[in-house]
A and B are shown apart, each in its own frame.
Chain A
Amino acid sequence: MSDSARAIPDVAPAISDHPPVNDWVHDFDHTDPRWTENPYPIWDELRAASPVVHTDRFLGCYMPTTYEAVKEIAYDTTHFSSRRVIVRDVRPEIVNTAPPITSDPPEHKPAKQLLLPPFTPDAMKKLEPRVRAICNELIDEFIADGRCDAAARYTKHIPVRAIAHMLGIPQKDSDLFIKWIHEILELGIKDDATMMRAVHEMTGYFHGHIEARKQNPTDDLITTMMNARDKNGQPLSDGHVLGSLRLLLIAGIDTTWSAIGASLWHLAKTPADRDRLIAEPELMPTAIEELLRAYAPVTMAREVMKDTVISGCPVKHDNMVLLSFPAANRDPAVFPDADKVVLDRKENRHVAFGLGIHRCVGSNLARMEMTVAIEEWLKRIPDFRLDPAGQVRWSEGTVRGPRQLPVLFGKSA
């Protein structure tokens, strides 16, 4: 079924203090409740109007609507800076960085290279048994109930436990991490004080863990960052270490939570795809890429540093750019049947993890977690469906995925 054709369910709109949008093409707003609920028809409308659209909201912001325009901007680090990676109501002075995601060339490459080795596919293979165990521990807690909120009881906990394991921080602090992420990525779009407080709390949290490791070194990512050296052989600044640790925690959690959740949402309402994955497990890698394409959770941002032209459209400095990789993935000029999930899609240059130098450092972790989470769920709960009495609720803003996903187990009566 096409998502564009999907009727918008009767869900109470999320709280938004922005005026409602009446003209998407000239006044778009990615925090509007209709965008949060079902952005795909909105993106189709924007793409039909222009490869680049603009809104005066967010102090001025463009959005590339085609795969080609997204690609041009992602590759152009001269006119587009990553120093701000979230489109927000305000643009305060930059005091906290999170290298390498907020870095531009030439600082970007050395900062990124420090983080790449722990996230290679081979490194992820070593973590896989732990993730498989996490998934089964979670399923054990609710399988006897015959139903669950798959977002609150399952998808939410898998990435947070995995990254806590990698960083070497206690799994029991997960609720704290999830609170910070909500405050930074969702509330922070409109509420600067809440965002700054969350960043401050995270910094204090990691500072404590760094101090503890000075006495008792451990084998984890925090220690790796503490021991890292820059190109001159010097230790990284405290600001760099803390910024990268904040990035690993923020970027590794609600993103994959969203991707697993959207995949389960799709499978809950698409029994044919569920049955096919069970019958043809060898299809899983291709299917995961297709689910990533169709339900890519992450939209990034850039800041326009100099006037330029993108896909024939003038782009002026001092504006932000809503860099929607999810919208690029729905461009019918690149993907035939772009609004259909085709589990065996053969050619799939999706950009769920971005394009160019800022390719998601955790992409191999995310893929492994998605694969394991869906495999283990299907092994134990091969039949499930959306609870007709429940409501699916999606997150607002930069990372889109189900935050409430009530499902019933077993075949429908």
Chain B
Amino acid sequence: MSGKLRIHVDQDKCQGHARCKALAPELFELDEFGNAHEVGDGSVPAGLEDKAWLAKSNCPEIAIEVTEE
């Protein structure tokens, strides 16, 4: 099945809607302008995979990449 997930927020696309932070606060953090960044190196802890996909599928700017390692 699927391996470990890694997320990344494309800073050229993120406009600070903050939908990801609301849906997956464990995986995203906001900077002083409200733009989102992945927490740490973006690796998704076990059990939070659904939240990673949920954040991706609610980002209006399609700024979140989820990759399977």
Which A positions have Cβ atoms within 8 angstroms of B?
A: 113, 116-117, 119-122, 285, 289, 346-351, 353, 355-357, 359, 363-364
- Is B6 interfacial (CB 8 A cutoff)? no
CB-defined contacts of A120 to chain B, threshold 8 Å: 18, 30, 32-34
21 sampled A-B residue pairs with Cβ under 8 A: A116-B16, A116-B33, A117-B32, A117-B33, A119-B34, A120-B30, A121-B22, A289-B58, A346-B57, A347-B57, A347-B58, A348-B58, A349-B60, A349-B62, A350-B60, A353-B60, A355-B15, A355-B60, A356-B61, A359-B16, A363-B18
Name the contact of B17 in the complex, choosing from A113, A117, A353, A357 (C-beta under 8 A).
A353
Instruction: Write out the residue numbers on chain A whose beta carbons fall within 8 Å of the beta carbon of B32.
Output: 116-117, 120
Cβ distance B18 to chain A, nearest Cβ, rounded Å: 6
Residue of A nearest to B61 (CB): A355
Task: Say yes or no: A356 contacts B22, CB within 8 Å.
Answer: no
Instruction: Note all chain A residues with C-beta closer than 8 A to B16.
Output: 116, 359
Chain B residues lying within 8 Å of A289, measured Cβ to Cβ, are: 19, 58
Contacts of B48 in A (CB 8 A): none
- Total chain B interface residues with beta-carbon distance under 8 A: 19
CA separation between A13 and B59, bound complex, in Å?
Answer: 39
Q: Out of A116, A285, A353, A359, name the residue touching B22 (CB < 8 Å).
A: A285
A121 touching B33, Cβ below 8 Å: no
B54 CB contacts on chain A under 8 angstroms: 346
Pick the contact of A359: B15, B23, B30, B58 (CB < 8 A).
B15
- Interface residue? B8 (CB, 8 A): no
Cross-interface CB contact of B21 among A116, A117, A121, cutoff 8 Å: A121
Q: What is B's interface to A at a CB cutoff of 8 Å?
A: 15-19, 21-23, 30, 32-34, 54, 57-62
Known contacts A289-B19, A357-B15, A363-B18, A121 near B57 by CB under 8 Å: no
**Known A121-B22, A289-B58; further 19 A-B contacts with Cβ < 8 A:** A116-B16, A116-B34, A117-B33, A119-B34, A120-B30, A120-B32, A120-B34, A122-B30, A285-B22, A346-B57, A349-B57, A349-B58, A349-B59, A349-B60, A351-B60, A353-B17, A357-B15, A359-B15, A359-B16
Report how far A351 CA is from B58 CA in the complex, Å.
11
Residue in chain A with minimal CB distance to B23: A285
Are A121 and B18 within 8 A (Cβ)? Answer: yes
A359 adjacent to B17 (CB under 8 Å): yes
The residue among B18, B59, B60, B61 with the most chain A CB atoms within 10 A of its own CB is B60
B15 near A356 with CB under 8 A, answer yes
How distant is the Cα of A116 from the Cα of B23 in the complex, in angstroms? 21
Nearest CB in chain B to that of A285: its residue: B22
- List of A residues within 8 angstroms of B60 by Cβ: 349-351, 353, 355
Complex Cα spacing A357 to B15, Å: 6
In the complex, which residue of chain A has the Cβ closest to the Cβ of B21?
A121
Alpha-carbon separation in the docked complex, A357 to B61 (Å): 10
A121 touches B34 (CB 8 A): yes
| Given A116-B16, A121-B18, A357-B15, also A364-B34 (CB < 8 A) | yes
Q: How far is the CB of B41 from chain A (nearest CB, A)?
A: 23
How far, in whole Å, are A355 and B59 apart by their CA atoms in the complex?
10
Residues from chain A with a CB closer than 8 A to the CB of B30 are 120-122
Interchain nearest-CB distance for B3 vs A (Å): 23
Residues on B with C-beta less than 8 A from A350 are 60
For residue A72, give the distance in angstroms from its CB to the closest CB of chain B. Answer: 13
Instruction: Give A71's nearest chain B residue, CB to CB.
Output: B60
* C-alpha spacing A39/B26, complex, angstroms: 40
Nearest-neighbor residue (CB-CB) of B56 within chain A: A347
Chain B residues within 8 Å of A117, by CB = 32-34
Contacting residues, chain B, for A285 (C-beta < 8 A): 22-23
- List A contacts of B22 (CB < 8 A): 121, 285
Docked pose: A361 CA to B37 CA in angstroms:
18
Please, how many angstroms separate the alpha-carbon atoms of A157 and B69 in the complex?
Answer: 51
Q: How far is the CA of A349 from the CA of B64 in the complex (A)?
A: 12
User: In whole angstroms, what is the CA distance A81 to B23 when docked?
Assistant: 33
For A363, the chain B residues whose CB sits under 8 A away are 17-18
In the assembly, what is the distance between CA of A141 and CA of B22, in Å?
33
Complex: A29 Cα to B5 Cα, angstroms: 48
Which B residues touch A348, using CB under 8 A? 58
Q: How far is the CA of A350 from the CA of B61 in the complex (A)?
A: 10
